[in-house]
Each structure stands twice: as structure tokens, then as C-alpha cells.
A and B are shown apart, each in its own frame.
Chain A
Amino acid sequence: MTPLCNWVRYAAAAFALALIIGLAAPVSAQQPTSVNPTASAVKEQQLLQELQRVQGRITIPDAKESVLIQPAGRDWRQFHEVTLRWIGAIAILGMLVVLVGFYLWRGMVRIDSGRSGRKIVRFSPFERFIHWMTATCFIVLAISGLNITFGKPLLLPLMSPEAFTTWSEAAKYAHNYLSFPFTIGVIVIFLIWIGGNIPNSVDAEWIKRGGGLVGDDHPPAYRFNAGQKLMYWVVVLGGGAVAISGYILMFPFYGTGIAGMQLAQIVHGVVAVLFVAVMLAHIYIGSIGMEGAFEAMGTGEVDVNWAKEHHKLWVDEEMGKGRSSGRAAQPAE
């Protein structure tokens, strides 16, 4: 290389350096005196207004912990502590008041024509087993469930905190495990009695005449009258709703988030207290409300006169089959 070539290279390098410095100086002079690093930052109030909660990314396996703030928890608390208690108290106490009032006014609905002494089979042993399995589970589920909502204000003041915890924990396990036979019972009830529980024109007439609850009227009915059909659908649909929402609660956060869990509890709580209220009416009419009614689920056989008064069309069907003379051998089906 020649000395001239070297000189040219040095000159070019010096020029380039001067150019960089010359260009860089004005840029640094234009930097703002203060920066605001929060200009693009996420803002809590904005997130809460837009999404009702703040959610992000976490580095722990527990996915539900990615929700940072969910003020909806306070709304759910309001539901559980105030709204649900009002719904439950009004529904259950209201039903009790209505039933006591009705009993005082109407008394036990008697068999008008008296007992004939002849029996007709109304429910098979299998039907009665399913009924009582479901009913027993329901009573335990209802008491243990109501304990979660009403135990603290009503029961806890009467016992020691330790005793209340022991009872509540046992009740919780009973609630969880008895849900399985209860659900099976509801499914079997749905299947074995669906045939007699499709609403038809006879039901309209039955409802129009007040179902015979008022006065001595006896509107005709097949095996199940409109009131019993209503009870059937309450059990099937209400039981289905508490079962589905209950299993969501029993298997928490499997495919649902915190909002889903809150919704499941709301559905479970509201349907359950209404279910209890309706079942009180069912227990009333099946026991002290009507003479001869309990036998249907007790021994499975009812008096023929009772059957004629309350299920005329069903008795006609059975008589037609020629099975009702004396003690019917076959279950009514």
C-alpha cells in the first residue's frame, strides 16, 4: 500500500467520525427533560371498568390465580349473605304459612264415599324404593344445604364453634356423597314416570276446577293429575338443575372460572330453596293433607274409593284391564 492510500483512509475515517458526532449532538439535545413511563401503562380503573376484573399471566400452575382482582366477589357475597337468605326465608316460611293456613281452613281432605275396603295397586315396590331413596337423600341434602346458608345465623349461636364445625363438616360430606343416589333417583324418576306426566287436555279441566282442593269437587284424572305432573316436572327439572350446578361446585374450576363458580352457586342456591319449598307442599298433601294418599307410597296400595275420587280415569283404565278385582296382583302401569 502506498502512503497516499493510507492518508486517504485516515481522512475518510476522521470525516465519518465527525459526521456521526455532528449528527448525534442535535438528537440528544432534543430528548425531553422528563419522561412518563406510565404513558402506555395498564391502568387498574380502566381494566375494571372495561372487563369487570383484572387478569394477567402467572408463572404458577394454578391457572385460576391469573385473576388478580375480581370485585364481583363482593357482589356474590351480597347474594350469599342477603339475597339468598331472603329468597329462602320467604319461599320456605311462606310455604309453611300457606300450608298451615290451608290445613286450618280445609283440614284433611277425606275420602267422601268412605273406604271400600278394596285395594288397588298404585306403585310397584321398585317405584316406591326409588321414591324413598330419592326422598331420603333429598331431606338430608336439604338440611345440610340449608345449614350452609342458614346455619351460621340460626344454629351457630346455639352451639359451640367446634361442635358446629364438626356438624357442618359431616353435613358437607353427606351433601356431597348423597348427591349421587339423589341424582340417580331423579334420572330413574324421569324415566319410569314420564309416560304418565305429559300434560294433556284433562289437566286443563283439572286446573280449571281447582284440582278439587277447594270444595268437594273431584275433577277426573289419569294416573297422575295436573298437580302431580307439576310436582314431577319440578323434581325432574329442579333436580336436574341442582345436580348439574352441584357437580360444577363439587368439581371446582374444571372448565369454569371464578365467574362460572359464582353463577353455579347462585343457580344451586336459588333452585334448591325453591325446591325445598315445593317439596314441603308435596309432603303435606302426601301426609296430613289428604286421607288415603300416603298409602300409595307406603304400602303401594290405595283404597279403590280413594282412587275413584282422585284418579277416576286411571281406575277406569285399570278396571278395563280386569286387574282391580279384589287385591290387584299387578302394579298399575
Chain B
Amino acid sequence: MARMKFLCDADRCIECNACVTACKNEHEVPWGINRRRVVTINDGKPGERSISMACMHCTDAPCASVCPTNVFYTTADAVVLHSKDLCIGCGYCFYACPFGAPQYPRVGNFGSRGKMDKCTFCAGGPEADNTAAEYEKYGSNRLAEGKLPLCAEMCSTKSLLAGDGDIIAKIYKERVVKRGYGSGAWGWQTAYRETIAG
């Protein structure tokens, strides 16, 4: 099976936010929840870079480790998913997540955050694939239809890559060789304990 990963080529990202919009529309994500976001570092200064970030589906995921009710599971494709039925909305996964991926429907007075929501790598949840129940809780399940995540598919500059880690790493390395530069795969060291030389 594949080992699914995201890779954002920061030298290509133009901060158009199409990935964010695609994600919100595809999964009908409620207002206030951003499964994916674009962060711009050194905005307006020379050398600024924008990086599109969602759940990185970490190896040995910290969110899964700290969850008091053990709601997380990893699929055969190494996608980190969770059960909203078992979530108590404690918010601990957000403290552990290196990438700010977990989202909650409410701000959190008295800890009433509601069930956690996050990027599913377009792979749904524990319910049967592409059922109404799955769609309502987790959004569409494109992986079950043989498709890759929509954010990366929609990316106008092909900055955001999603798919098998080895393949997208190869694509990125070829780019770096061809154009002669690259700022590396942002977050990979933290998520997967590996880097791609820039």
C-alpha cells in the first residue's frame, strides 16, 4: 500500500487559497472550520514564502497518542483518521498537533468545543465508504473512489502535491534539479522524521 503524504512546494505557492476553497466546498466544511489553510511567512518582505498546511498524517501521530478516548486510527494508506462518535472534544489533539490541524465547531467556553474535525486526506471516516452518514461527519471519500485529495488536484501552480510519499518526493526532487533551487518539503522533518534536500 501507499504511504500517503502532502508536500507543499513553497517556491510555487502563490497564496491563491484555491486549496482552502476546494476543501471547504468538497466536504461542505462548516463556517469557522479550516481543514486547510495557507500561512505566509515574512509577508511583504523579500524571500516571503506561502505554505498550504493541513493535517500531515504524521508517522506516529502525536494527536493519536494524547487522545484520552483513543479515537484515532491509521488506515492501510497511512492516513490518520478519527471517529467523531468517540470524540469528547477535550482539545488535547490541538495541543499535541505540530501543524494546528484539529478544528472544533465552537470556540470552547467550558470546554464545549464539539466534535473535532480535521483533514481526512479526502478519505472519510470509520463509516462505510461514501455513505450519507460518512459524508455528513467527515465529507467526501475521494480515496475510496480512486481519486486523490481535491486540494492538491485543484492547485493552480501544482505547488501542493498529495499522494504516495515516494512518488511526490520524486516529483519534487526532479523539480529542484531542473530549476536549480528548492526550500525543501516544509513540515516533513516534524511529521515524518525525514527531509527532502532543497
Binding site for B on A (CB under 8 A): 34, 36-45, 47-48, 54-62, 64-74, 76-77, 80-81, 147-149, 151-152, 156, 161-162, 164-165, 168-169, 172-173, 176-177, 249-253, 258, 261-262, 265
Contacts and interface: CB of A to CB of B under 8 A. Distances in A.
Interface in B72-91: 85-91
A321 to B, nearest CB: 47
A149 B46 CA distance: 46
A292 B92 CA distance: 45
B47 A80 contact: no
A58 B98 contact: no
Contacts, number: 172
B98 A70 contact: yes
Given A36-B180, A38-B198, A251 B109 contact: yes
Given A56-B39, A165-B86, A262-B95, A65 B34 contact: yes
Nearest to A148: B68
B32 interface: yes
30 contacts: A38-B183, A39-B47, A41-B11, A44-B183, A47-B41, A55-B39, A56-B39, A56-B51, A57-B39, A60-B37, A62-B34, A65-B39, A65-B100, A70-B100, A72-B98, A73-B95, A73-B97, A74-B96, A77-B62, A80-B92, A151-B69, A162-B86, A165-B85, A169-B88, A172-B89, A173-B110, A250-B108, A250-B109, A252-B107, A258-B94
A211 B181 CA distance: 74
Main secondary structure of the interface of B (DSSP, over half): loop
B145 interface: no
Interface of B: 10-11, 17, 32, 34, 37-43, 46-51, 53, 62, 65-71, 85-92, 94-100, 107-111, 180-184, 186-187, 189-190, 198
Nearest to A259: B95
A249 B89 CA distance: 12
Contacts of A152: 67-70
Contacts of A48: 190
Contact of A37 (B11, B43, B51, B94): B11
B100 to A, nearest CB: 5
B41 A68 contact: yes
**6 A-B pairs with least C-beta separation:** A40-B47, A56-B41, A56-B39, A77-B62, A41-B47, A68-B39
B129 to A, nearest CB: 21
A41 B111 CA distance: 40
Contact of B111 (A56, A61, A67, A250): A250
Given A58-B38, A172-B111, A73 B96 contact: yes
Contacts of A147: 68
B180 A34 contact: yes
A56 B180 contact: no
B49 A41 contact: yes
